[in-house]
Amino acid sequence: KKHQIGVIGLAVMGKNLALNIAEHGFRVAVYNRSTGKTNEILEEAQNKEYEGNLSAYYSLEEFTEDLETPRKIILMVKAGDAVDDMINQLLPFLSKGDLIMDGGNSYYMDTIRRNKVLKELGYHFLGTGISGGEEGARKGPAIMPGGAIDAYQMMEPILTAISAKVDNEPCSTYIGEDGAGHFVKMVHNGIEYADMQLIGEAYDIMKKILHLTPQELHEVFDEWNQGELNSYLIDITADIFAKKDIASDHYLVDMILDVGGQKGTGKWTSQIALDLGAPIPTITNAVYERYLSAKKDERIKASQKLKGPESIVTKQKDFIEAIRRALYASKICAYAQGFGLLHTASEQYGWKLRFADIAKIFRGGCIIRAQFLNRISDAYNENPELENLLLAEYFSDIINWYQTEWREVIKAAISAGIAIPAFSSALAYYDSYRSKELPMNLLQAQRDYFGAHTYQRIDKEGIYHTQW
Ligand code: NBP
Q: How confident is the model over 140-165, as pLDDT tens digits?
A: 999 999 999 999 999 999 999 999 99
- Residue 83 has what pLDDT? 98
The DSSP call for residue 6 is E
- Residue 343 has what pLDDT? 97
Residue 312 pLDDT level (bands cut at 50, 70, 90): confident
pLDDT at 433 over 80: yes
Q: Is residue 440 part of a domain?
A: no
What is the Å distance from ligand 1's center to 275 Cα?
28
Q: Is this prediction's ipTM beyond 0.95?
A: yes
Give the residues surrounding ligand 1 with Cβ less than 6 Å away. 9-14, 32-34, 37, 76-79, 82, 85-86, 104-105, 130-131, 133-134
Q: How confident is the model over 180-191, as pLDDT tens digits?
A: 999 999 999 999
The enclosing domain of 53 has a CATH number of 3.40.50.720
Taking a C-beta distance cutoff of 8 angstroms, is the pair 347, 277 a contact?
no
Report the greatest alpha carbon distance in the chain. Answer: 84
pLDDT at 311 over 80: no
Choosing from 7, 77, 83, 138 the residue with most ligand 1 atoms within 8 A of its CB, the one to mutate for a pocket test is 77
Atom in ligand 1 nearest the alpha carbon of residue 134: 41
Atom in ligand 1 nearest the alpha carbon of residue 33: 48
* Residue list, annotated binding site for substrate: 105, 131-133, 188-189, 193, 263, 290, 447, 453
* Residue list, annotated binding site: 9-14, 32-34, 77-79, 105, 131-133, 188-189, 193, 263, 290, 447, 453
Same domain assignment for residues 154 and 211: no
CA neighbor of 369 nearest in space, from 200, 178, 142, 186: 142
- Residue 468 has what pLDDT? 97
Taking a C-beta distance cutoff of 8 angstroms, is the pair 279, 288 a contact?
no
Same domain assignment for residues 254 and 121: no
Same domain assignment for residues 248 and 350: yes
Same domain assignment for residues 266 and 397: yes
Q: How confident is the model over 171-220, as pLDDT tens digits?
A: 999 999 999 999 999 999 999 999 999 999 999 999 999 999 999 999 99
The enclosing domain of 334 has a CATH number of 1.10.1040.10
Q: Is residue 428 part of a domain?
A: yes
Gap between the Cα atoms of 468 and 461, Å rounded: 21
Gap between the Cα atoms of 212 and 200, Å rounded: 14
Which residues are catalytically annotated?
185, 192
Gap between the Cα atoms of 461 and 235, Å rounded: 55
For 30, residues 6+ apart whose C-beta sits below 8 A from its C-beta are 6, 7, 8, 10, 14, 18, 38, 41, 54, 55, 56, 57
Q: Take atom 9 of ligand 1 and give the residue whose Cα is closest.
A: 9
Gap between the Cα atoms of 280 and 78, Å rounded: 27
Choosing from 13, 63, 84, 185 the residue with most ligand 1 atoms within 8 A of its CB, the one to mutate for a pocket test is 13
Q: Take atom 15 of ligand 1 and give the residue whose Cα is closest.
A: 78
In total, how many domains does the chain have? 2
What is the Å distance from ligand 1's center to 17 Cα?
12
Report pTM. Answer: 0.96
Same domain assignment for residues 81 and 112: yes
The boundaries of the domain holding residue 208 are 185-433
Average pLDDT, the chain: 97
What is the Å distance from ligand 1's center to 78 Cα?
3
Q: Take atom 20 of ligand 1 and give the residue whose Cα is closest.
A: 82
Q: Is residue 377 part of a domain?
A: yes
For 415, residues 6+ apart whose C-beta sits below 8 A from its C-beta are 309, 311, 313
Gap between the Cα atoms of 68 and 3, Å rounded: 6
What is the Å distance from ligand 1's center to 137 Cα?
13
